[in-house]
Structure 1
Amino acid sequence: MNTTLADFPFFPIEFDLHAKQVNPAQQAALLAYLGTARSTDLFVISHGWNNDMSDASRLYQNFFTEVRKELQAARIDLTGRSFAVVGVFWPSKRFTDKDLIPGGAASFDNPQEVLDLMEQLESLRGLNDDPSLDADLDRMKSLAPRLTDESDARDEFTELARKHVPRVSVNTGDEEALPQLFDLSPSEIMDALSVPVVYTGPVNDDGGASGFLESDTSSTDGGAAGLSGFFGGGVVNAARNLLNLTTYYTMKNRAGEIGANALAPVLRTVHQQAPDTRIHLIGHSFGARLVTAAAQALVGNTPLNSMTLYQAAFSHYGFSGDFGKGKPGFFRNVVFPASIQGPLSITHTPNDLAVGIAYPIASMLAGQNASAFGDQNSQYGGLGRNGAQKSDAVIGTLQATSGKYAFEQGRIYNFEASAYIKEHSDICHPETAHLLLSAIAGK
């Protein structure tokens, strides 16, 4: 039996670590409802970095409250359309990003950093279902105070961390492959991740960042004039960077598996049993990867009517026709040939430092020029920061609710969103709702 969300019929569907439905009755309730033909359109939304279902529920409630308000404002002609919502719930973990807060203190291996590392290790319980995980985390916690002074402790810590990174991943393209994590020695990894990275761009009035990251080897005392933020620096912060990278690749793999192997079959069944229902995918953060992986799995057998990605946490080359290696991005076939009949809309902003966390780390391991860390020129850049690169995307700006969009079928649209989206999870606005409803209006 369905509930409601901002007065929309709402159907939660929960998946576990193994891309299995937790409660098959949830899908049955959705199909029974659609069998009554009471909704012409189905929104399917997935969260990203959330530790529990209450975080995701809050995101869905806040977002669709804005959608409901925008519908009531009737600025977009959706005559005869009615809507229901599927909310995807999946087990995800949040990055630790204290060092990316503008104005944060820069420090090297002080006692507080060790305590932060211990807290981060504790938060990783439940990261996967490996029976050795808890024992490994306990061992890493015992090693944490010794990392600065003992190379053996650093080597063991690194080996234990990368032990829990999936080596074989679904939905992984060369644009995000990171063989360095397994090919480099533990000491090489820690050396690379020990390089401090500082935020050198301006900070806007409400604390959002609008610049870029670069490495800084000029200071060893943790301070530098005119710098507004800090990322990494020192052995203990290198360990924290490594754990963030471990979390990133685990969540990346899981989002892809759940999208392709769990959500896609649900949507295929929806189309088979309610073929006239329009399906609109919505993803935030790693949820954008999840719904994109679902779209890819549905190419050729299940038409989708639109896809809107808010601050997506995957490669900005994912939809590329050729990102420099003579081959397309991994998700290129989602748009060419298309499984998405309507527009694919992407919001992006340099205010989103969270999307940039994994990419500077990847760049550090790859030895990439620091001046390109995470920006549109970086090999390791994210959609939520830069939009779709090398993809023939239409370039635009997220508009006010009075604005008009000129969407074409089967095109990619990048919308610079700094005026409204101030950080990674700041996606619940009248303007973001207006974008979604504008994108579906023609489909």
Structure 2
Amino acid sequence: MAGPFQTIPMNDGASADLYLLRYGKDGLLRSPAAEADVKKSLDGVTDVYVFAHGWNNIFAAALDRYRDFATGFIGQRAQFAVPAPGPGPYRPLLVGVMWPSTSFVMPGEQGPVIAGPSGPDSPASAEQEESLELVTSEMNADEDRVLVDAVDGRTAVDGPTAAKLAAILLRNLRATADPDDGSEPPDVEGLLSIWSELDGRPLPERPEGTGSFGRVGSGGASAPPDAAGLSFDPRDILRVASVWKMKARSGVVGAKGVAPLLEYILRSESAVRLHLIGHSFGARVVLSALDAAVVGRPAHSMLLLQPAVNRWCLASKVEGTGQPGGYHSVLSPAKLTQPVLTTFSDRDEPLTNIFHLAMRGKHYGEQPETAAVGDTHRYGALGGYPPLGLDGQTTTCTAVAPGEGRYPLGAPTRVIAIDGGTEVKGEVPIPGHSGISNGFTWWALHDLTRGS
């Protein structure tokens, strides 16, 4: 649709227009008229806020999140008389990125296994159906048939079948290195270890001298001897594969869809300040967008709320690779003026207990591959744990209560990790994965964007 989706009143009699821009799973813009209106409106605004939602957000849920955050943020500015970011009247414009995520929750938000009553009309069945459709949507016909036949309507598959499915999913969804941290994908046995771990029972150790694989199942997929006698719940592996799919899609939407808009806003002849806010996989949208954008001047600020990206993604040197993290470039002053503010919380079940299992790759170093299962140091989420590999450019601190202080934004700090799981004045700033719209997070954004 053209024109603003909604206009949000401000305390000075002015208002802020909220535009919604839709993007397809290929990252391409689906709202050209709305984007054209955003571009035409830039001459009359001082600040543009681009928001990107996360995993479990269909259109209505994402819209509610954007409205709630924007309304709270605007109201808090009046409550604490926050100075405008620059001289003259403050005229913000809000852009909500609508990208195709899902209607079901991220692993860990309802436990690692899909729970609920059985039957074709149950929530569990509906979620499995959506997961299956998402995972198989771009597979070739032969592999699609194998996977659907193996898991459709089942709550358990045997070890050889599990190995066959693991090989198919790796070929289709994790065939290359992870762009966040450069880690290679797991092998079949590694994925089976993850699968078993999610079900609450690690694979038994291999008998000494058997090697990695004891036999080969149908279709050429190897089944390790320690998995041969076990059963595996296919709903778990579908959810892991769904995480892979959404992670990849969020990067595509950022790099192919949102980046051109950022390039337009950040033309050298423009003076509009740009602020980027991303939640969960939406953090990957804004990181990918700024990383890919060729800009004439830097964005002003970036706030990452419980980001579902690897904690090494901003590193100057990733452990085991010696290479920069996938999004290290956004820390350059040519790309971003203020330090990145990013929240983490030990109350975030998906990002502290599940993400590192789903995103585990091949383990670096001398330890055996199986040692990487549960490795939050190497594969932990930035929303679950503080960032690593930043060589003195990062600061970790508790959340600042609204109206009661500022974050240490001065050099040499380029990343400030906010511990949202520690109580501040009797409140937990980030009580869970989706608990990201409150006075603490609005204040963090005000601190990044306010004037002196």
Q: TM-score range by the shorter chain?
A: 0.7 to 0.9
Equivalent residue letter for 2:27: A
What is the distance in 2 between the residues matched to 1:5 and 1:343? 30
Deviation at 1:245, TM superposition (A): 2.4
Deviation at 1:271, TM superposition (A): 3.0
1:17 and 2:14 correspond: no
1:396 paired residue number: 397
Change (3 A) 1:264 1:109: closer
2:442 paired residue number: 433
What is the distance in 2 between the residues matched to 1:83 and 1:360? 40
Farther off after superposition, 394-403 or 189-198 = 189-198
Change (3 A) 1:394 1:119: same
Structure 2 length-normalised TM: 0.77
Equivalent residue letter for 1:400: A
Q: Determine helix, strand or coil for the equivalent of 1:384.
A: coil
Equivalent residue letter for 1:382: A
Contact 1:31 1:273 in 2 (8 A): no
Residue correspondence of structure 1 range 223-372 to structure 2 within 5 A:
235-237=231-233, 239-272=234-267, 275-298=270-293, 301-324=296-319, 325-336=321-332, 338-356=334-352, 357-363=354-360, 366=363, 367=369, 369=371
Deviation at 1:32, TM superposition (A): 1.7
Q: Determine helix, strand or coil for the equivalent of 2:288.
A: helix
Q: Determine helix, strand or coil for the equivalent of 2:253.
A: helix
What is the distance in 2 between the residues matched to 1:297 and 1:434? 28
User: Deviations 1:92-137 (Å, cap 9, x if unpaired)?
Assistant: 1366557665xx7x99999969988754430222457527587566
Equivalent residue letter for 2:78: Q
Change (3 A) 1:244 1:107: closer
1:194 paired residue number: 196
Equivalent residue letter for 1:59: R
User: Deviations 1:136-161 (Å, cap 9, x if unpaired)?
Assistant: 664243373551xx444323433444
What is the distance in 1 between the residues matched to 2:95 and 2:436? 18
What is the distance in 2 between the residues matched to 1:146 and 1:215? 16
Deviation at 1:262, TM superposition (A): 1.2
Contact 2:114 2:124 in 1 (8 A): no
Question: Which of residues 411, 414, 418 in structure 2 aligns to 1:415?
Answer: 418
Contact 1:346 1:384 in 2 (8 A): yes
Change (3 A) 1:292 1:100: closer
Which structure: larger Rg?
A: 2
Q: Determine helix, strand or coil for the equivalent of 1:290.
A: helix
1:3 and 2:19 correspond: no
Q: How many pairs align?
A: 396
Contact 1:292 1:334 in 2 (8 A): yes
What is the distance in 1 between the residues matched to 2:325 and 2:293? 17
What is the distance in 2 between the residues matched to 1:40 and 1:62? 22
Question: Which of residues 139, 146, 151 in structure 1 aligns to 2:149?
Answer: 139
Change (3 A) 1:436 1:113: farther
1:63 paired residue number: 69
Deviation at 1:360, TM superposition (A): 2.3
What is the distance in 1 between the residues matched to 2:346 and 2:117? 31
Equivalent residue letter for 1:195: E
Q: Determine helix, strand or coil for the equivalent of 1:439.
A: helix
User: Deviations 1:204-234 (Å, cap 9, x if unpaired)?
Assistant: xxxxxxxxxx96989xxxxxxxxxxxxxxx7
Question: Which of residues 40, 50, 55 in structure 2 aligns to 1:32?
Answer: 40
1:121 and 2:121 correspond: no
Structure 1 length-normalised TM: 0.78
Contact 1:47 1:88 in 2 (8 A): yes
Contact 1:197 1:216 in 2 (8 A): no
Contact 1:121 1:137 in 2 (8 A): no
Contact 2:106 2:243 in 1 (8 A): no
Deviation at 1:352, TM superposition (A): 1.1
Deviation at 1:344, TM superposition (A): 1.1
2:12 paired residue number: none
User: Deviations 1:46-87 (Å, cap 9, x if unpaired)?
Assistant: 001134211111111111121021112134212732211000
Change (3 A) 1:243 1:113: farther
Deviation at 1:319, TM superposition (A): 0.8
What is the distance in 1 between the residues matched to 2:381 and 2:263? 29
Equivalent residue letter for 1:144: R
Equivalent residue letter for 1:437: H
Change (3 A) 1:394 1:425: same
Contact 1:252 1:286 in 2 (8 A): yes
Contact 1:95 1:248 in 2 (8 A): no
Farther off after superposition, 277-286 or 290-299 = 290-299
User: Deviations 1:242-280 (Å, cap 9, x if unpaired)?
Assistant: 222211221121111111111110121223397111100
What is the distance in 2 between the residues matched to 1:197 and 1:142? 19
Residue correspondence of structure 1 range 86-105 to structure 2 within 5 A:
86-93=95-102
